[in-house]
A = this chain, B = another copy of it.
């Protein structure tokens, strides 16, 4: 299949998810709650996790549509975590729109997250798979791990020394788990054998890693007009990304104080933003950190696609391979 046809396939599945999410979000509570739920669920996004569930199901031998409820459930769970994360990070906007706690208030954002979690389980329970018990259990483990990952991320803010392995442990929980869960749930619904289930879960695992590293990298190398977020935001906040933590290990001489200052209190007190971001970007380049990140992304993408080898060739498998590469070349 050509890249254009893969892109079309992705767009089709994404639209299917968007439509399903659009029908949800009615709530018997207050009008505010129902409006805010609709606002969140109809707010767009790549629908990556949901599409991965559908494609993995198909690649495992099932029909993509059989995984629609599970994919939708996972997408709702993802959105619940975003709403609560945005509160914790004091984020004013997401995907170009005000965050829920900005548009409504903290209380509504808190409750929207909570009720979305309920909607996610309700949607998951609609799955007609004989493995629904296993799905709910997987889903629950994922919920707990995502919270643990977020807790680690918060704890890192106040921790003097965070290592690159610490970072990988954190993103594995915070970002990676929902992605490997997506492919594992799809495999389960598609009736995959244990070895194929493992193949799809491994694919998700490496893909999640590449995805998060790419996220870190985009903060520095994205073009503003495509990015949707502020470029250099992670640098300004002193966020302990792969880039900054690697810089902490590699920087020498006069570069060390800058990196240490960033790690301790971000760019506060380091002068105007338009000077700090290019200075740090130049430092990353000088120490080969951007190249190292690119190499790691490439390696994880290769491992992801290699993991798919036990699956028979199929349209879905090709789309998964295409998707892994497309995500690495994304601009937002």
What is the interface of chain A, defined by CB distance below 8 A to chain B?
A: 27-33, 84, 87-88, 106-108, 110-111, 113-115, 117-119, 121-122, 125, 132-133, 136-137, 140-141, 143-145, 147-152, 154-155, 173
Contact = CB atoms under 8 A, between A and B. Distances in A.
A149 B29 CA distance: 6
Please name the 4 residue pairs, one residue from A and one from B, whose CB atoms are nearest each other, closest first: A29-B148, A29-B151, A118-B144, A30-B155
Number of copies: 2
A154 B30 CA distance: 9
A121 B152 CA distance: 22
Given A122-B140, A143-B121, A110 B133 contact: no
A107 B101 CA distance: 14
A136 B111 contact: no
Given A122-B141, A122-B144, 18 more contacts: A28-B173, A29-B151, A30-B155, A32-B154, A33-B147, A84-B111, A88-B110, A88-B111, A114-B117, A118-B140, A118-B141, A118-B144, A121-B121, A125-B133, A125-B136, A125-B137, A133-B133, A136-B136
Query: Which residue of A106, A111, A141, A145 has the most chain B CB atoms within 10 A of its CB atom?
Result: A111
Contacts of A149: 29
Contacts of A145: 28
Contacts of A141: 118, 122
A290 to B, nearest CB: 30
Contacts of A147: 29, 33, 111, 114-115, 118
A267 B325 CA distance: 62
A229 to B, nearest CB: 21
A128 to B, nearest CB: 12
B121 A140 contact: yes
Contacts of A152: 29-30
A26 to B, nearest CB: 11
11 contacts: A27-B144, A32-B154, A32-B155, A88-B106, A88-B111, A111-B150, A113-B114, A114-B117, A115-B147, A117-B143, A118-B144
A111 B151 contact: yes
Nearest to A136: B136
Nearest to A148: B29
A177 to B, nearest CB: 11
Contact of A87 (B28, B110, B121, B122): B110
A209 to B, nearest CB: 18
Query: Which residue of A110, A132, A137, A148 has the most chain B CB atoms within 10 A of its CB atom?
Result: A110
A52 to B, nearest CB: 21
